[in-house]
Structure 1
Amino acid sequence: MAVSYAVGVVVLLVVVTAGAPAATWYPPVALAGLAVPPVGSLTRARWAALAPDRTVLGSAFSIESLTDDLSYVVGPVLATVLGAVAPAVCPLATVALVLTGAVVMAARSAGTPRRPRARRLRGVAGPLAVPGVRVLTAAYVATGVVFGGLQVGVTAAAGAAGHAAAAGPVYGGFGVASMVSGLAYGAVHWQVAPARRVVAGFGALAVGCALLAAAGSLPALAAAILLPGLAMAPTLITGATLATELAPPAQRTEAYAWLSAATAVGVATGTAVTGRIVGTAPHSGFLVPAGAAAVAAVLVAARVRR
């Protein structure tokens, strides 16, 4: 997959720099998009195999969340700087990172002892045959809506305030808050069931995003975005822990992949829907991720009560 991704990006770079018609851009973009290695799913599956204890696993997932948040904070900044200096460097840098990561992960996996085959659920649904996994996957769409909706909403709100350049630093506060809460969350030995913590996490995301809609100034927006940031990492960490418990061991990687796919769908949906709203009412766009998180909290809570 990493090689296919590299081919897609390089071909895209060639056709764009050659001035080819825009229609020729789509095939390599599609190839690159389809071939993005599922690093998150594979990493979570490896953590689950190496740290089967719930407490240790939660700490491991918090470390992974930290690296994810760090990439979200540093990545856009690097892309902006590199894009201003040499635009072609950005896609080539992603190719180098993806290929290097794939080689390292493959080398590390090669020496791992194989475990006995575990029971797999039959049928095309795979882990989605488990009701809890289905509900969690549906709820994870909301995490993507929060990511996509907040990016668009912050950009629109900063622009409406006359400080468009401040959108990056303000959204960066979301990532920093998520990193801090993820580290703190992983250090705690939780007695509350993961499902209930997921409900609390989505509830906090809903409240935090709703408060953003009421932020009347840029400083207020920068302060308010810290709440959904503080809630995001614990929600993702606990969701991954819950998926580990719900999915059959042999299909955990597939379950994690469904969560990642649901998040991607949410990002696309949140970006599109919020983008249409902010054109007429910039701050109202934050109600989209707020509503999505609230629905997710209700879905998981309804499942917990059964």
Structure 2
Amino acid sequence: MGAGAVGTTEDTGGGPAAGEGGDGGAVGYGAVLRAPYAARLLTGTLVGRLPHVTGPVALVLFTRSEGGGYGLAGGLAAAYGIATAVGQPLLGRAVDLYGQLRVQLPAVVLSALGMVALAVAGMDSLPLAYAAVVVAGLFTPPLEGGLRALWPSVLVRQDRVHRAYALDAVAQEVMFTVGPLLVTLFVSWWSAGAALLVINAIGVAGVLAVVTSRPSLVWRSAPREAHWLGALRSGGLLALLGSFFFVGTALGAITVAGVAYADDHGREAVYGGLLAALSFGALVGGVAYGARSWAGAPERRLRVLVALLAVGYLPLTLTPGVAPMMVLAAVSGLFLAPALACAFVVVDRHAPKGTVTEAFSWLVTAFGVGAAAGTAVAGPVVERAATAWGFAVAGGGGVAALLVLLATARVLTVPAASRGAAAPSGGVPGH
């Protein structure tokens, strides 16, 4: 079964809707994880992404430990983020052309070597330090896109593939909460340089677990039509990327406004609490969303979810006391994981044939660039106005994301006839 088939039942109404067969609730998640290789692929992907998830935090801690200022730390983190945004779709296209093992494994080794070079050389040579983080970011393996390309061949049933997307989105929230905590723990045990080495060694192990699995080894993309734009020739995909650029902007703004809010209340722990509350909301929302099957076109449902997401961001501008602000942060996160899970289905439906990994990687890039833009905009806004205006940038990002979807509703209504990755020849053992 190819990735391009995902979502077909939603379009025709032929798949199991809520309460009409299919797997429900925890039973459904269990069915996903019990499928051959599913737990290995999900765990390996999460572990393999640990260097990317923790990269900015690890770079800041390492730079500070070497005597560098926050300006240098921010510059290195920005260089890493930009390089990652550039590399993801390029490597994703390479995966579609040459397979996962031949791209993901060399990429993760080069990425890890970049961080090793930084840890060994330190900050004695700034050009070398910047070159090292650019290499590390540019060759960050496109594990997210690779996993989402594999789900249809591993799970076969479309309702389980959709549930896997929800599980995927929820797992991301866990990683973005746990990952930075692991870095700080490693730094306290050893040093910031040792933490860089250990985190990247763990990342290599995670990628190895994925690319040596049978589904990854036998996966091949569907034949693709030669076109220099690749996945970007899909108008529906471009519309989705535009929308999620602004979702990323909203989250980037929240990270900056959250720091300002914590400063206003004189407690650094407040910032961690806000991000934890947002992640908790996303976790709850994602689990609830994936616990049932959904009828109807995912494109229409995505507009509703993004509208709810935008509405959730707006009350943050009230900046009440800490306890009610934590509640508002949790509410603002409720529809993040559901929106992401639904977006994964939409990406799959609109990606041109043979570009599925590249298409998912473009979503990662759009989201990441949007987050960087949100951070860049919210910083001066908070400095010159007030904390509430920083959260207003987040609310504006959510509204802009919705407006993009509404303006492109016609483009995002009917996907092209065929797309996605071909199922591996012979299938996966156990199916």
TM range (shorter): over 0.9
CA–CA separation in structure 1 for the residues paired with 2:108 and 2:214: 16
Aligned partner of 2:276 among 164, 169, 172: 172
- Specify whether residues 112 and 33 from structure 1 end up closer, same or farther in structure 2 by C-alpha distance, changes over 3 A only: closer
Give the 3-state SS of the residue equivalent to 2:222 in structure 1. coil
Aligned partner of 2:211 among 106, 116, 119: 106
CA–CA separation in structure 2 for the residues paired with 1:131 and 1:159: 43
CA–CA separation in structure 2 for the residues paired with 1:265 and 1:127: 18
Query: Aligned-pair distance for 1:264?
Result: 1.2
Are 1:37 and 2:134 counterparts? Answer: no
Tell me which residue corresponds to 2:119. Answer: 13
Q: 1:215 touches 1:224 (CA, 8 Å); kept in 2?
A: no
Query: Aligned-pair distance for 1:88?
Result: 2.1
Query: Aligned-pair distance for 1:111?
Result: 6.7
Specify the code of the residue in structure 2 equivalent to 1:153: A
Query: Aligned-pair distance for 1:173?
Result: 1.1
Tell me which residue corresponds to 1:199. Answer: 303
Q: 2:119 touches 2:194 (CA, 8 Å); kept in 1?
A: no
Tell me which residue corresponds to 1:94. Answer: 199
Q: 1:198 touches 1:297 (CA, 8 Å); kept in 2?
A: no
Tell me which residue corresponds to 2:365. Answer: 261
Give the 3-state SS of the residue equivalent to 1:250 in structure 2. coil
Query: Aligned-pair distance for 1:253?
Result: 0.8
CA–CA separation in structure 2 for the residues paired with 1:220 and 1:80: 28
Give the 3-state SS of the residue equivalent to 1:279 in structure 2. helix
Are 1:123 and 2:203 counterparts? Answer: no
**Number of residue pairs aligned between Structure 1 and Structure 2:** 303
Q: 2:211 touches 2:217 (CA, 8 Å); kept in 1?
A: no
CA–CA separation in structure 1 for the residues paired with 2:293 and 2:240: 22
Q: 5+ unaligned residues in a row in structure 2: which ranges?
A: 1-106, 412-431
> What TM-score do you get using the length of structure 1 for normalisation?
0.93
Tell me which residue corresponds to 2:110. Answer: 4
Specify the code of the residue in structure 1 equivalent to 2:114: G
> What TM-score do you get using the length of structure 2 for normalisation?
0.67
Aligned partner of 2:265 among 161, 164, 175: 161
CA–CA separation in structure 2 for the residues paired with 1:241 and 1:54: 10
Q: 1:48 touches 1:244 (CA, 8 Å); kept in 2?
A: no
Tell me which residue corresponds to 2:387. Answer: 282
Q: 1:199 touches 1:298 (CA, 8 Å); kept in 2?
A: no
Specify the code of the residue in structure 2 equivalent to 1:248: P
Aligned partner of 2:255 among 126, 134, 151: 151
Q: 1:73 touches 1:176 (CA, 8 Å); kept in 2?
A: no
Q: 1:121 touches 1:129 (CA, 8 Å); kept in 2?
A: no
Are 1:300 and 2:300 counterparts? Answer: no
- Specify whether residues 52 and 152 from structure 1 end up closer, same or farther in structure 2 by C-alpha distance, changes over 3 A only: farther
Q: 1:62 touches 1:233 (CA, 8 Å); kept in 2?
A: yes
Question: Please, which moves more after superposition, 261-270 or 19-28?
Answer: 19-28
CA–CA separation in structure 1 for the residues paired with 2:134 and 2:314: 35
Q: What percentage of residue pairs aligned between the two structures are identical?
A: 28
Structure having the higher helix fraction is 1
Query: Aligned-pair distance for 1:14?
Result: 1.4
Give the 3-state SS of the residue equivalent to 1:196 in structure 2. helix
